[in-house]
Every structure is written in structure tokens, then in C-alpha cells.
């Protein structure tokens, strides 16, 4: 059991009513508990004096007075969640192109072919997870490549450090170099074998991962949908409506479908626990479809800016009420840092035309929520990750607002929580993350 005295940041409320809360003098107690004997969770969180008193009253055999780590001046916050990232694209970051399709062909497909090699996969997987931890990201839904070696390497590395990580074999059997395409039948067999090997083991989860419509044959999309029906609690991840040339290509491939998003629906790939990156150029019936199917949008602001893809419509998200959250989309995205992603989301919302701007979209509390509790909701993991609530996985960040002289000076002048969060979003980087605590799992326990 572990107890820390510090400020606590957590989230409450839904939709436009979401708010962040800061307990200046708080107490967080972490340990294993009966319903979850296999993993470390938050046992208690709240004001220091009352939480301590209640804990000691309820647990006379486990008084914690002498075991409290004092981190006064630090903020404990929920670990960040990245809803969409490509671990094989670390070596692609910062490769400019005129748009998505050129970028894929010129840089991305070349780098991804290297992941046929298990040694390369293991090396990059380890660096990727180091980087996530350094940036305070404790849960990620990530693409791998079309090689099973890339998937196994990432799961093995994440398991070794008790990280909550969701990934899957990238399905792509056409319109890409031979070394990157998988055999249609074999890719579906491999996906199922990988589900059986990894899904639900410790804190790992499997995501059926058709790359995007143009890279998958109808047979492969159909197989992915059938697999999804067979395994209702695995995740689904893909891309939709990112780029106008991509959309025109899908229209040529499926002229009979109402929209790009409808193609996924046709194959049974929209449902709970499905997350679609970008969702930029959708219309009202598409937004309704997202809501109806409980499908989430992964918003990728740095990627959308870098590749010149477009702007996410927050007003539509508010009006139609579908799930969404923030994502880095590295290597189209430019940074694994949630602070960079939140700041880019702010820039976009701040400069969006009024009809795309929702009341909350530029608010720092809401930006932070989209990368924590809101992202957890999009994953179907509300109450499991993304918040400092009893029962949540003990994935906790120790933030040091004094990490640099400028941060210290600026945050000391914050008059309220909005000003503090804004200063952290704008000036924050990996130096702000003093420690990343990952919930331990006890292997073999239920």
C-alpha cells in the first residue's frame, strides 16, 4: 500500500458540464483490493485530513500515519490516455508532405516494412513505451504494422512494465508495397490467434485494426467485421474522413455507399469500443451514425495541422453527442506529449469558424478531460482509467509545477484552476512529469 500527500486533480460531470477539480491538500491511497486483487487501484482520494481520518477509522489494522509520502507542492493527476498513435512511426515524425496519401507512400510505408524484423520491433516498442511514460501517457490505443512480430513485441514490452496497452495486427491487403501487405485469410487467422493470446491478459487489450478502407479488400473488411462480432469486447480502430483525396478514393471504391463512414458500418465495424481517427469531413447523418453505434472519434490535432487535413467539428460533437477524445497520431502527429496535443486542440478550436466551435472547446478543463476521463469514456473504460477515483487503476502522474523557472513563476501567479491548467498546457512538456506511477498487476490472479 502507498499513500501520498499532495494536491489532487480529478474530473467530474459529463459533456458540456465536465469540470476539473483541484484538492490543494489531498491524500491518495493506492493498493490492491478485493474486487481487483490482481492490480493496484486507487483505494481512497480526497482532502488530507478527512481522508486520513476515515481511512484509519475504517482500517484500524492498517493505519497509514507513518507511511505517507509528503509531496507538498506537487500535483497528482490521472495518467494521460492516447486514443490513437502508431508506434512504428517514431522514425516518421517530422516528415512533411503535401497530404496524407503522399506522406503514406513517401515515408510511412517504407518505415513500417522494417517491422517484419522482431529485433527492430522490440527495439522500437521499448523506446515507444519509454517515451509514453516520460510524457505521462499510461494508456494507449496504438497501431502496430501488418507483421505479427510488431504486435507481439509491443504486447511483450507493455506486459513487462504493467502498462495498459491496446493494439492489434494492422490489416492491409492492397494498395501498399508487397512487404507491407498481409495475406487476406492469414491476416484474419493471425488476428484471432493474437486475440486469444493477448486480449485481457494483465492490462493488455486487442484491437481489430483495419488500416483504412483503401488498404483493405472487401473480403478483409468483411472478415474483420465477423471477427468483431465473435469477440464483442475487443476494440476496433481505424481511420476515417481525414483527407479529401482519401475520401474521393473511397467513393470510387464504394460508389453505392452513402459515405466513407457507411462503408465501415456495412461491414459491422461501428460499435461500442470502436474508435475512428480524425472524423474531419463528416456530415450530419455520419455524426448521427457515430452516436447511434456508440462509436468514438479520436481527435488528432497536431496530425491534422501537420498534414493539412482539416479541423474537427466540436459543435457537431456537442450537438450530436457522440464520444470523442484526444490523440497524438504520431507519426502524422508531431509529438507524444499530451501538452502539445491539448495546445494544438486549443489553437484549432480558438480559430475555428463559429459553426464548428462548441462552448467548451477552448476551455482548459475540457481539453485535459479529453485526454483523461473523456478518453476513458471513449474507450469504454470509464471508472477504470483516466481519473483519480476509488477503483481506478493506480496510473498516477506526479506533476511538478516548479519544473522550470518559468513554469514556477507563471504557475505561482495563477488565480484559479483554469489559469493553472492553461499555464501547464502552454508551458508543459516532459519536464513537468516528475514521475509516472503505473498500476502493478499480479500475474496469475483473476
* Residues contributing to the site for ligand GUN (CB under 6 A): 86, 100, 104, 108, 211-212, 239, 242, 303, 329, 332
Q: Does 329 help bind Zn ion (rule: CB under 5 A)?
A: yes
Pick from ligand GUN, Zn ion, none: which does 211 bind, CB < 5 to 8 A by kind? ligand GUN
Pick from Zn ion, ligand GUN, none: which does 212 bind, CB < 5 to 8 A by kind? ligand GUN
Of the pair 158, 176, the CB lying nearest ligand GUN is at 176
Q: Does 437 help bind Zn ion (rule: CB under 5 A)?
A: no
Of the pair 52, 279, the CB lying nearest ligand GUN is at 279
Of the pair 11, 264, the CB lying nearest ligand GUN is at 264
* CA pair distance 395, 172, nearest whole angstrom: 33
Pick from Zn ion, ligand GUN, none: which does 108 bind, CB < 5 to 8 A by kind? ligand GUN
User: Among 58-66, 207-215, 251-259, 323-331, which window interacts with Zn ion (CB under 5 A)?
Assistant: 323-331
**Residue 194 and residue 149 in contact, taking contact as beta carbons nearer than 8 Å:** no
Q: Does 388 help bind Zn ion (rule: CB under 5 A)?
A: no
Of the pair 33, 105, the CB lying nearest ligand GUN is at 105
Of the pair 23, 329, the CB lying nearest ligand GUN is at 329
Pick from Zn ion, ligand GUN, none: which does 199 bind, CB < 5 to 8 A by kind? none
Of the pair 162, 278, the CB lying nearest ligand GUN is at 278
Of the pair 4, 144, the CB lying nearest ligand GUN is at 144
* CA pair distance 155, 166, nearest whole angstrom: 8
From 195, 277, 280, 358, residue interacting with Zn ion (rule: CB under 5 A): 277
Of the pair 39, 239, the CB lying nearest Zn ion is at 239
**Residue 59 and residue 126 in contact, taking contact as beta carbons nearer than 8 Å:** no
Which residue lies nearest ligand GUN, judged by its C-beta? 332
Q: How far is the CB of 325 from Zn ion (least distance, A)?
A: 14
Q: How far is the CB of 168 from ligand GUN (least distance, A)?
A: 14
SS3 for the chain, per residue?
A: CEEEEEEEEEEECCHHHCEEEEEEEEEEEEEEECCEEEEEEEEEEEEHHHHHHHHHHHCCCCCCHHHEEEEEEEEEEECEEEEEEEHHHHHHCCCCCCCHHHHHHHHHHHHHHHHHCHHHHHHHHHHHHHHHHHCCEEEEEEECCCCHHHHHHHHHHHHHCCCEEEEECEECCCCCCHHHCCCHHHHHHHHHHHHHHHCCCCCEEEEEEECCHHHCCHHHHHHHHHHHHHCCCCEEEEEECCCHHHHHHHHHHCCCCCCHHHHHHHCCCCCCCEEEEECCCCCHHHHHHHHHCCCEEEECHHHHHHCCCCCCCHHHHHHHCCEEEECCCECCECCCCHHHHHHHHHHHHHHCCHHHCCCCCCCHHHHHHHCCHHHHHHHCCECCECCCCCCCECCEEEECCCCCHHHHHHHHCCCCHHHHHHHHHHHCCHHHEEEEECCCECCCCC
Pick from Zn ion, ligand GUN, none: which does 242 bind, CB < 5 to 8 A by kind? ligand GUN
* CA pair distance 328, 81, nearest whole angstrom: 10
Q: How far is the CB of 242 from ligand GUN (least distance, A)?
A: 5
Q: How far is the CB of 154 from Zn ion (least distance, A)?
A: 15
Q: How far is the CB of 332 from ligand GUN (least distance, A)?
A: 3
Of the pair 155, 276, the CB lying nearest ligand GUN is at 276
Pick from Zn ion, ligand GUN, none: which does 100 bind, CB < 5 to 8 A by kind? ligand GUN
Pick from Zn ion, ligand GUN, none: which does 225 bind, CB < 5 to 8 A by kind? none
Q: Does 326 help bind Zn ion (rule: CB under 5 A)?
A: no
Residues at the interface with Zn ion (CB under 5 A): 277, 329
Amino acid at each position: 500500500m502507498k499513500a501520498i500527500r499532495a494536491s489532487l486533480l480529478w474530473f467530474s460531470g459529463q459533456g458540456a458540464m465536465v469540470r476539473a477539480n483541484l484538492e490543494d491538500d489531498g491524500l491518495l491511497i493506492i493498493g490492491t483490493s478485493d474486487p481487483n486483487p490482481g492490480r493496484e487501484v486507487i483505494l481512497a482520494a480526497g482532502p488530507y485530513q478527512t481522508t486520513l481520518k476515515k481511512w484509519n477509522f475504517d482500517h484500524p489494522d492498517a493505519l497509514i500515519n507513518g507511511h505517507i509520502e509528503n509531496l507538498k507542492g506537487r500535483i497528482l493527476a490521472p495518467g494521460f490516455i492516447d486514443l490513437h498513435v502508431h508506434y512504428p512511426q517514431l522514425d516518421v515524425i517530422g516528415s512533411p508532405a503535401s497530404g496524407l496519401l503522399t506522406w503514406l507512400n513517401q515515408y510511412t510505408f517504407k518505415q513500417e516494412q522494417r517491422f517484419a524484423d522482431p529485433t527492430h520491433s522490440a527495439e522500437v516498442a521499448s523506446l515507444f513505451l519509454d517515451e509514453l511514460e516520460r510524457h505521462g501517457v499510461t494508456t494507449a490505443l496504438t497501431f502496430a504494422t501488418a507483421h505479427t512480430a510488431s504486435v507481439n513485441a509491443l504486447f511483450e514490452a507493455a506486459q513487462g512494465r504493467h502498462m495498459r496497452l491496446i493494439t492489434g495486427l494492422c490489416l492491409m491487403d492492397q494498395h501498399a508495397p508487397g512487404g507491407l501487405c498481409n495475406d487476406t485469410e492469414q491476416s484474419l487467422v493471425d488476428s484471432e490467434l493474437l486475440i486469444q493470446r493477448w486480449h485481457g491478459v494483465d492490462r493488455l487489450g486487442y484491437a481489430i485494426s483495419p488500416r483504412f478502407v483503401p488498404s483493405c479488400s472487401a473480403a478483409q473488411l468483411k472478415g474483420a467485421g465477423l471477427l468483431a462480432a465473435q469477440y464483442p469486447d475487443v476494440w476496433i480502430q481505424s481511420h476515417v474522413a481525414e483527407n479529401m483525396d482519401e475520401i474521393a478514393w473511397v467513393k470510387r471504391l464504394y460508389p453505392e455507399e452513402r459515405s466513407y463512414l457507411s462503408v465501415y458500418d456495412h461491414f459491422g465495424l461501428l460499435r461500442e469500443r470502436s474508435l475512428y481517427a480524425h472524423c474531419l469531413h463528416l456530415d450530419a447523418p455520419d455524426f448521427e451514425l457515430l452516436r447511434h453505434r456508440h462509436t468514438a472519434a479520436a481527435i488528432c490535432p497536431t496530425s491534422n495541422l501537420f498534414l493539412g487535413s482539416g479541423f474537427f467539428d466540436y459543435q457537431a460533437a456537442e450537438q450530436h453527442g457522440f464520444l470523442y477524445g484526444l490523440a497524438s497520431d504520431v507519426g502524422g502527429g508531431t509529438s507524444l506529449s499530451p501538452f502539445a496535443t491539448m495546445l494544438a486542440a486549443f489553437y484549432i478550436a480558438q480559430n475555428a469558424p463559429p459553426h464548428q466551435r462548441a462552448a467548451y472547446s477552448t476551455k482548459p478543463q475540457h481539453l485535459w478531460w479529453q485526454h483523461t476521463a473523456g478518453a476513458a469514456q471513449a474507450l469504454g473504460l470509464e471508472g477504470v482509467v483516466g481519473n483519480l477515483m476509488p477503483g481506478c487503476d493506480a496510473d498516477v502522474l506526479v506533476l511538478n509545477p516548479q519544473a522550470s523557472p518559468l513554469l514556477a513563476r507563471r504557475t505561482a501567479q495563477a488565480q484559479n484552476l483554469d489559469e493553472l491548467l492553461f499555464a501547464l498546457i502552454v508551458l508543459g512538456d516532459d519536464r513537468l512529469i516528475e514521475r509516472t506511477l503505473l498500476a502493478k498487476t499480479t500475474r496469475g490472479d483473476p
